[in-house]
Amino acid sequence: MGLDDAVYRLLKKRVGDAQITRNPEDRVCYSYDAAPGQSFMPDAVVFPESEAQVADIMRLAWEKRIPVIPRGSGSGMTGGAVPVQGGLVMAMTRMNRILDIDTDNFIASVEPGVIVADLHTAVENKGLFYPPDPASSAVCTIGGNVGECAGGPRAVKYGVTRDYVLGLGAVMPNGDIIHTGVCTAKGVAGYDLTRLIVGSEGTLAIVTRITLRLLPKPAYVATMAVCFDDMGKAARTVSGIMRRAVIPRCVEYLDEASLALVRNQLQSDLPDQTRALLILELDGDETLVKSQTEQIRAFCLQSGALDIRMATDPVQAAAIWQARKALSPTLYQIASQKLNEDIVVPISKIPDMVSHIQTLQQESGLTIVSFGHAGDGNIHCNIMYDKTDAAQVKQAHNAVDKLFAATLALGGTITGEHGVGLTKKGYLSWEIGEKEQAIMKQIKAVFDPRQILNPGKIFS
Amino acid sequence: MGLDDAVYRLLKKRVGDAQITRNPEDRVCYSYDAAPGQSFMPDAVVFPESEAQVADIMRLAWEKRIPVIPRGSGSGMTGGAVPVQGGLVMAMTRMNRILDIDTDNFIASVEPGVIVADLHTAVENKGLFYPPDPASSAVCTIGGNVGECAGGPRAVKYGVTRDYVLGLGAVMPNGDIIHTGVCTAKGVAGYDLTRLIVGSEGTLAIVTRITLRLLPKPAYVATMAVCFDDMGKAARTVSGIMRRAVIPRCVEYLDEASLALVRNQLQSDLPDQTRALLILELDGDETLVKSQTEQIRAFCLQSGALDIRMATDPVQAAAIWQARKALSPTLYQIASQKLNEDIVVPISKIPDMVSHIQTLQQESGLTIVSFGHAGDGNIHCNIMYDKTDAAQVKQAHNAVDKLFAATLALGGTITGEHGVGLTKKGYLSWEIGEKEQAIMKQIKAVFDPRQILNPGKIFS
C-alpha cells in the first residue's frame, strides 16, 4: 500500500499542515544522516509534538504498513536514521521539552528531541551532571543517544547512556503507548525492557519520554593535553594510565593525521616533533584532582611525553574539546569520502591496535586517521578515500574488513557507540552468532511483527 | 511426560552418579529458598560441572518437557529458586571457578557458582573491586546475583549487578549455547541480550559464564554509625545527605525494632534513647574521605543526631556490617513468619514512607521491622506474624497490599533487588501494565517456547 496520496492526506488530517511535509526540498534534508554516502528519499516527513500524536501516527502507519523511521538530529554515524525503504521519517525534534529536573532525587524527565548540550546546561545550572557527552552533543538529541546507546569521552569514568536511563515512555509500532522501568534508583520488576530499547536503534519502539539518573556536578575539572613524538608511545601510556587506581574522566587520543587537522585550534603551541596527543581530564574534589593530576603528569613524562599543557582556565579547556569534537567533520579536508568505524579493543590491546592501523595504512596506501576514546579502548578509525576512484573504494572496504578481523581477534567489538545501522549490517555476523541473531530477530518480531519500524537496519 | 524413572536414568547416564540425586533427604534441601513458607519438592537435583553438561541436560529436558529450575545458594527472597511444578533443580554451585581476573583491563570472568564474598576477596587481593555486595554475600552466588540483578548497600554510589555485567555465556532452554555482550568497556552490536538476561530470574536462559567489569579498589573506607532518637529524624537526614554533592557508598538505616535485634552485636554502646540508626560509609582518597566524613558528621549533628560512632578500625567496621547483614535471618526471633518486601521510593519520599509504615504497624497490630538501603530509597519492610494465627495471616497480607499501594502512589516500585519470583507474582500487575507484560511474555516465549525454564515465576 505504502505512503500514497490518500495516506498522506490521512496523515495530514491527523497532525495538521504545519507538522508534515512532502516537498522534495524538505525530504532531501531527511534523506541522509552523518553516515557518508547513504541517502534514500523518504515519502514524507512528520514532526509530532506529543506522545499522543506519535501514537496516532503509528496507528495509521501500522494499518497501512508504512515504514516509519524515527530520527533525532541525524548525526548518527551508521545510517540509522536513513529511510532505506522510503516511507515516513518521524523527526522528533519538536518534542524537545525538559519536563522536570528533580534536584531532590537527582532525576530528569525529558522528551526525546532535547539537544544533549541543552540538557547539560540545564542540569549543570542546578548543580547536577549528566555525564554522556558524545562529540556531536551540540546538535544531537537525547532520543538519538538513547537509540544508539551513545558514549563519548566521559564514558571512561562514567559509563554510557544505558547507565543513566531509568525508564522510558515509548510508542509501539502498532501505536500502543508503553512505560518501562522506574523513576527510582533501583527496580527489578519484570524483564528489563528499558535497556532492551536503549541501543535498539529505533527498531523496536519510538521513545517519547526518558527518565534519566543524574549525578552531582563535579566540583573541579582539570584538562590537559599531553604531547608525544610517537603514537605507539602514547598508546602504551594510555594502557599504563588505565592500570592505575585513578580513573580520569576522559582519556582521548589524536594520531598525527588528526592532530594536523585541528592543531591550530588548540590555542597552544605544541612542540614541533608532536606526532600524537592525549587529552586527559580528571574531575572531583579540587585538592584531590590537583594531586592526581600531578601523579598523572609525572607518569606521562616517565612514559616519554614531550610536553604537557594544562588548560589554565575553562576557555582553554573548551578550546581543546572544540578541536577534538570538530575532528569528525573536518576529516573531509583529507579526502572526499571516509569509512568511519568505532571499534573497541581491550585497553591493554590499544598499542597492538595502533600498530595494526599503521600497517593497514601502509598496505592500503590510503590515509587512515584515528582518534577517540582510548581510555575505554574505543578507537574511531577513519579510512579516507576518493569516492570517484574505484580502486580506492575497493581498497577502503578491504581495509575495513581487515580492521574488523583484527579487532575481533583482539577480543573487541565492531561498534562501541555508533551502532550497526545500515553501514555495519554486513559485518554483524562477524561478531554476533547465528543463534544470538535469531533471538534478536524474534524480539524484533515481538515488538514489530509488521516490520514497519526503521526497516533494513541492524540485521533486517 | 515429566521426570519419571526412565528420564532420571537418562539424566544419570549423561552426568554420572555423583552429579544427580533424587533421595528425598537431598530433594527436601532444594525444595525451598529464603522466601518464607514456599516449599515444593523437586523430582531430582542435578549438579552440572561445565557449560557442556548444562547444555546436555537441557537438550534432554527440552525433549522431555521437564521443568528445570536453575539455583545458586537458594538465598533469594521471593521464591525464585523454588520448583513450583516439580521437575529438575539445577544447582550451579559446582561451577564455581574464577576463570580469570584481568588486572590490565579490570575484567573478571567467572562461573555462576562463585560465592560473591569469594569474588570480593579474590579481586581485592589484586587491588581491584567488585562493588555489588548483597547482605547474603557470604553465601550467595554471582549467578544468583545476575538472575535477580542483586543490589546491596553499595548500590547508592556504585549501582547494581546490571552495571557490572559486560557479557554472558548461557544455555538456552533447548540446549543451545549462546554468548552475549562483550569483554570490553563498551559495545552496542545488536540488541542488549546481556541486560535482558540479567534480572530475568532464571526464566530465559541458564547463565554459565559471566564477564564482569571491575574497578580499582578504593584506597580508604570510613564507616560510621549515627544514632537518632526518632526514625523520622533519621529519614529526613538521609534525604538531606543525598541532596549533597558527596555520595556515600552506603546509606543504610535500621529502625527501632531492627536495632533491638542486633544492638549487642554492634560492639559499641549506643545512647539509651537511640530509636533509629544510620550506617554511613564513604570511600576513596583518604584525605578527601576524612574531610567529607567531617562534613557529613556535622550535617548529621545539625539534623538532630544523638551521637556518631566512627569505626576506628576494620574490625569494628566489620562488626557493624555483620550486625546489619544478620538482620534478615534474626527476624524470626520476633515471630514465626515474615512477609519481607523490598520496596523502593524516591529518596525524597523516604520520610513519607517511614511514617506510612508506622501507621501501618498501628493499624495492623503487627510488628513491622524496617531497615535497608535508605540511600537509594530501597526499604526492606518485614511484616512479622504468627503463621498459625489466621487473623494475623490475613492482617499481614492486607498490610502488604497497603504497603505496595502506598509505594506505587509515591512513584516507587514493589521490588528493588529481590525480584518478583513467586511471592510478588500477584502484585506484578499493580506496577506493570498489561501491554508491557504481554511484551515480556512474548519475550519469554522467544527464549523458552516450551515454558520449561523456571516455570510459574514472575508472570507465568
- Domain shared by B205 and B249, yes or no: no
User: Is B137 inside any structural domain?
Assistant: yes
Residues in chain A: 460
- Domain shared by B246 and B324, yes or no: yes
Backbone angles phi, psi at B48, to 5 degrees: -65, 150
pLDDT at residue A1 in the model: 55
> Is pLDDT of B105 > 70?
yes
Classify burial at B87, counting beta carbons within 10 Å of its beta carbon; exposed 0-12, middle 13-18, buried 19 or more. buried
User: Is B112 inside any structural domain?
Assistant: yes
Contact A156 B418 (CB under 8 A): no
- Best B184, B239, B379, B448 residue to mutate vs chain A (most A CBs within 10 Å): B184
Closest CB from A185, A288, A447 relative to B288: A288
pLDDT at residue B270 in the model: 87
CA dist., res. B121 & res. B129, Å (int): 9
- Domain shared by A76 and A162, yes or no: no
Q: Which residue of A has its CA nearest to B156?
A: A185
Instruction: Dig out the grid coordinates for B198 from the structure.
Output: 540479567
Q: Would you tell me how many other CB atoms lie within 10 Å of the CB of residue B359?
A: 11
With a CB cutoff of 8 Å and minimum separation 6, the contacts of B142 are B72, B110, B112, B113, B114, B115, B116, B119, B210, B212
User: Is B324 inside any structural domain?
Assistant: yes
Contact A162 B192 (CB under 8 A): yes
Closest CB from B151, B180, B198 relative to A186: B151
Q: Which residues of A touch B285 (CB under 8 A)?
A: 285, 288
- Domain shared by A261 and A175, yes or no: no
Taking only the tens place, the pLDDT of each residue in B410-431 is 999 999 999 999 999 999 999 9
pLDDT at residue B1 in the model: 55
Domain stops at, among B93, B123, B157: B93
pLDDT at residue A155 in the model: 96
Contact A440 B193 (CB under 8 A): yes
- Domain shared by A192 and A165, yes or no: yes
pLDDT at residue A239 in the model: 87
**Nearest in space to A132 (alpha carbons), one of A109, A107, A164, A106:** A164
Backbone angles phi, psi at B458, to 5 degrees: 65, -75
- Domain shared by A314 and A242, yes or no: yes
User: Is B452 inside any structural domain?
Assistant: no
Number of domains within chain A: 4
Contact B186 A378 (CB under 8 A): yes
pLDDT at residue A196 in the model: 98
CA distances to A201, B161, B301, B361 from B166, in Å: 19, 10, 42, 42
pLDDT at residue B322 in the model: 87
Closest CB from A180, A193, A347 relative to B104: A347
Domain stops at, among A330, A358, A385: A330
Q: Which residues of A touch B106 (CB under 8 A)?
A: 242, 347
Mean pLDDT of B267-285: 91
CA dihedral B426, B432, B434, B435 (to 10 degrees): -150
Number of residue pairs across A and B with CB atoms under 8 Å?
Answer: 255
Instruction: Dig out the grid coordinates for B424 from the structure.
Output: 510478588
Band the pLDDT of B323: cuts 50, 70, 90: confident
Alpha helices, H only, B96-214: 116-124, 142-148, 155-158, 193-197
Separation in Å, CA of A373 to nearest CA in chain B: 10
- Domain shared by B10 and B47, yes or no: yes
Contact A190 B435 (CB under 8 A): no
- Best A191, A237, A417, A429 residue to mutate vs chain B (most B CBs within 10 Å): A191
- Domain shared by A303 and A229, yes or no: yes
pLDDT at residue A244 in the model: 82
Instruction: Dig out the grid coordinates for A280 from the structure.
Output: 586527559
Domain stops at, among A216, A234, A260: A216
Q: Which residue of A has its CA nearest to B187?
A: A416
Q: Which residues of chain A have pLDDT under 50?
A: none
| DSSP H/E element including B16 | none
User: Is B459 inside any structural domain?
Assistant: no
User: Is B372 inside any structural domain?
Assistant: yes
Taking only the tens place, the pLDDT of each residue in B199-258 is 999 999 999 999 999 999 999 999 999 999 999 999 999 989 988 888 999 999 999 999
With a CB cutoff of 8 Å and minimum separation 6, the contacts of A73 are A93, A115, A136, A139, A140, A141, A144
The ipTM (two decimal places) reads 0.97
| DSSP H/E element including A358 | helix A350-364
- Best A188, A214, A251 residue to mutate vs chain B (most B CBs within 10 Å): A188
pLDDT at residue B460 in the model: 84
Taking only the tens place, the pLDDT of each residue in A176-225 is 999 999 999 999 999 999 999 999 999 999 999 999 999 999 999 999 99
User: For position A39, which CATH number holds?
Assistant: 3.30.43.10
User: Is B226 inside any structural domain?
Assistant: yes
Mean pLDDT of B112-136: 97
- Domain shared by B115 and B173, yes or no: yes
Contact A2, A66 (CB under 8 A): yes
Contact B90, B54 (CB under 8 A): yes
Contact A376 B186 (CB under 8 A): yes
Range of the domain at B285: 220-330
User: Regarding beta strands B68-71 and B88-91, do their DSSP bridges make them parallel or antiparallel, or are they unpaired?
Assistant: parallel
Contact A458 B418 (CB under 8 A): no
- Domain shared by A116 and A179, yes or no: yes
User: For position A230, which CATH number holds?
Assistant: 3.30.70.2190
- Domain shared by A199 and A258, yes or no: no
Band the pLDDT of B36: cuts 50, 70, 90: confident
| DSSP H/E element including B14 | helix B5-15
User: Is A415 inside any structural domain?
Assistant: no
Taking only the tens place, the pLDDT of each residue in A381-426 is 999 999 999 999 999 999 999 999 999 999 999 999 999 999 999 9
- Domain shared by A174 and A75, yes or no: no
Band the pLDDT of B37: cuts 50, 70, 90: confident
Contact B458 A415 (CB under 8 A): no
User: For position B377, which CATH number holds?
Assistant: 3.30.70.2740
CA dist., res. A31 & res. A33, Å (int): 7
